Amino acid sequence: MWAADNWKDYEILDTSKGEKLERWGPYLLVRPDPQVIWDTPRLHKGWKRRNGHYHRSKKGGGEWEFFDLPQQWSINYKGLTFNLKPFSFKHTGLFPEQAANWDWFGEKIRSANRPIKVLNLFAYTGGATLAAAKAGASVTHVDASKGMVGWAKENARASGLESAPIRWIVDDCVKFVEREIRRGNRYDAIIMDPPSYGRGPKGEIWKIEDAIYPLIQLCSRLLSKDPLFFLVNSYTTGLAPAVLSYMLSVELKSFGGVVDAQEVGLPVSSTGLFLPCGASGRWENN
């Protein structure tokens, strides 16, 4: 497992009965987690001192219950600042486990000793974009949601990266990639963090099991002659790390390099164990 264990402003304090108790800066949140299938005693005092609790509905979805929680606050990670706010579908605007990947590709960008162009697809609120830009890359940030791209720009400003070479694009990721191929544009590194399920701006259905391999095929045509890395993230339990590894190995074999895939996870303070939070597949040049 690749563990995001370098956080200071975030930690999972405890897990039990389908939920996790998290510290986001000074605030405690309780959120559901489908991986937490154990029924251990809730001994941590934070369970009763939570600032926010997302209650899952049996009919699907759910809603927040707040106890002295501001509408927005921020946390930091290695010089990056992320603005947080709880919104629908239990999210806060950040996936902390992805810091394991930020550390990995940040070091690769810094060590490359050459200009690196990164394409970040399904880029959300910009965690990977900012990590790549801080490491010295120029980044094209693509997300279909105008609101998410606006949020990412806020994070860039808060992180002192408002003047960094970041191109902000509001567009359907697949259509953007197809246009970039026609334009003849190339990238040294590609990051994609596709949703398990979603709908495009015109009602197009995105289902990761059907769409991820064709997208990897398309994106392989955008790689430069000397690419640095290719990162694919998945939160779908049906896509095991070995599946990610297989797809990357098949599509990028002409570039050489090596492929690895693992679960990504976060440490749980109360037990010293790790909570799995999806999987990542990494291709990198030797």
59 and 163 share a domain?
Answer: no
* Tokens found for residue 181: 């191929």
Strand partners, 68: none
As a whole number of angstroms, the distance between CA 192 and CA 140 comes to 12
Any idea which residue has 């430069």 for tokens? 224
75 and 162 fall within a common domain? no
Of 84, 109, 131, the residue that ends a domain is 84
Residue where one domain finishes, among candidates 29, 52, 84: 84
Are 219 and 274 in a shared domain?
Answer: yes
Higher pLDDT, 147 or 61: 147
Let me know whether 165 and 206 are in one domain.
yes
Q: What is the CA radius of gyration of the chain?
A: 19
What's residue 58's pLDDT? Answer: 80
91, part of any domain: no
Domain of residue 142, CATH code: 3.40.50.150
CA 160 to chain centre: 21
The reply to whether 256 falls in a domain is yes
Predicted local distance difference test score (pLDDT) of residue 211: 83
Give a yes or no: residue 51 inside a domain: yes
Q: Quick one: tokens of 230?
A: 């290719």
Indicate whether 92 belongs to any domain. Answer: no
pLDDT of residue 101: 98
Residue 35, burial from CB neighbour count under 10 angstroms (0-12, 13-18, 19+): middle
Express each pLDDT in 223-273 by its tens digit.
Answer: 999 999 999 999 866 689 999 999 999 999 999 999 999 999 999 999 999
| pLDDT value, residue 87 | 87
List, for residues 48-103, the tens digit of each pLDDT value.
Answer: 999 999 998 887 789 999 999 999 999 999 999 999 999 878 999 999 999 999 99
In angstroms, the CA 162 to CA 254 distance is 37
> At 18, which CATH number?
2.60.40.1180
Q: What angle do CA 223, 225, 228 make, to 5 degrees?
A: 65
Asked if residue 2 is part of any domain, the answer here is no
Query: pTM to 2 decimals?
Result: 0.94
In the block, which residue shows the tokens 């929680």?
69
pLDDT value of residue 111? 97
Give the mean model confidence (pLDDT) for residues 28-46: 96
Residue at 1 is within a domain: no
Distance CA 220, CA 34 (A): 33
Query: Do 150 and 75 share a domain, yes or no?
Result: no
pLDDT at 276 over 80: yes
Q: Is residue 283 helix, strand or coil?
A: strand
Contact 166, 129 (CB under 8 A): yes
pLDDT at 82: 98
Measured distance CA(277)–CA(31) in Å, rounded:
13
114 backbone dihedrals φ, ψ, rounded to 5°: -160, 160
Number of domains in the chain: 2
Task: State the residue range of the domain holding 215.
Answer: 97-284
Domain-terminating residue out of 84, 113, 141: 84
Alpha helices, DSSP H, located in the chain: 99-112, 127-134, 146-158, 173-183, 208-220, 241-251
Token representation of residue 27: 């605030």
Q: Is residue 185 part of a domain?
A: yes
pLDDT tens, 168-213?
Answer: 999 999 999 999 999 999 999 999 998 776 766 567 666 777 789 9
Is the same domain home to 15 and 148? no
For 272, phi then psi, to 5°, come to: 75, 5
**Whether residue 66 is found in the same domain as residue 109:** no
